Amino acid sequence: MRLLFLESNTTGTGRLFVRWAQRMGLSPLLLAKEPERYPYVRDESLEVFRTDTSDMKALIELCTLIERDGGLAGITSSSDYFIATAARLAQHFGLPSPSPEAVELCRHKGRQRARLAAAGVPIPAFHLVTERAAAVAVAAQLGYPVVVKPVTGSGSFMVRLCRDGSEVGAAAGEILGREVNERGMPLPRELLVEQYIQGEEYSVEALGCDLIVGVTAKQLGPPPAFVEHGHLFPAPLPAGQLDALREVTCSALQALGLTWGPSHTELRMGPQGPCLIEVNPRLAGGFIPELIRHTWGVDLVEQSVRFSAGWPLDLRAPTFAYGAIRFLVPDAYGRLESVEGIDKAATTSGVADISIYYPNGTHLCRNNDFRDRLGHVLTTAASAVEAGNAANAALAHLRPVITAEQAA
């Protein structure tokens, strides 16, 4: 039986999804418009069909042929941009999937906000606008600072903290002037202007509506961007605050109809308690699944594949340790010559994994989103403080050597 991946994450968990399908005795098959985007296709000997993944009619015809040729166990995607299409395709063939309507609702941050507000879930005050002048006007009404973001996207893509009207105008102009995202997909000419919530940021990882796996503490880089520089799991919070984060998350999932499959919900612990920032109808990015696997022994990628193939979940008793990820974010950009100190970082106590995402010779540029991260270190320890300290110590050994490039 084949497990179809409709596009995928080009790095990180994309490869892990393929490997878990293989371990479960399934035959993974990637449907992609540009298979060359996926460096692990050759490494994993992954079967690929090149097709227009935005054409539902063509996808149905292709999947019908694949089903006749050997059967379909499931259809899914690890990519935020294709999960709604994958859900509709799976539903068409009677395969396990989340509600396509719920996924599409979540994918549009404005519509998601409206549904959550109607259900009484605590969220920031917000306005959905389509013009730059309107963005500036509503920002003044909300009071500075505000957050300006596209209505679709992930990985902090084009999300900005703005402290005055000129910054709002610039951020809104950038979003409205952009026709496609980083995957070349059309962008709606809409944006959100929302209240900035002061407080620490967390995410709640869930499998289905009622199974909360755990809470992750986030470490963000400097404003105005919201690039994640690190994670800590499980979040070292008092039981009452953990319960409050879980309760808000469960209420949001119920309100959105997202009762099946993995989800990643981001919140801030504001002055009045948890405030929900957004619900993502997919597994967490930023290597959070790997962090949880190393610390608790629960593999969320495996469970996601089981969901998609219609298999029961296999949740063993967790091994309660703490884990931390710190991302390598360079101060300068240009041509990556090398990353020094990897061997020394690897000898730091508690290090479980070190990964550099780009080969030497890659031309790096600042994007102010997840693409700014060059690599990571992952550590485990008996306490949150020890795990965080070990990650910081290991990261300090990594020194990217980058040559500034001359302007053409």
- In contact, 221 and 329? CB cutoff 8 Å: yes
Helix (H) or strand (E) holding 28: strand 27-32
Task: Identify the active-site residue in 2, 268, 282, 293.
Answer: 282
In whole angstroms, give the CA distance from residue 137 to residue 396.
44
Of the CA atoms within 13 Å of residue 36, those in its CB half-sphere come to 0
Whether 282 is catalytic is yes
Element (H, E) at 384: helix 384-397
Q: For residue 245, what are the β-bridge partners?
A: none
* Residue 245: both structure tokens together: 């984060």
- 407 φ, ψ (degrees, to nearest 5): -70, 145
Among 212, 372, 206, 197, residue whose Cα is nearest residue 286: 372
25 vs 114: CA distance, rounded Å: 42
Going along 151-261, which residue ranges are E strands?
160-162, 191-195, 200-207, 211-220, 228-233
Q: How many CB atoms lie within 10 A of CB 24?
A: 16
Catalytic residues: 282
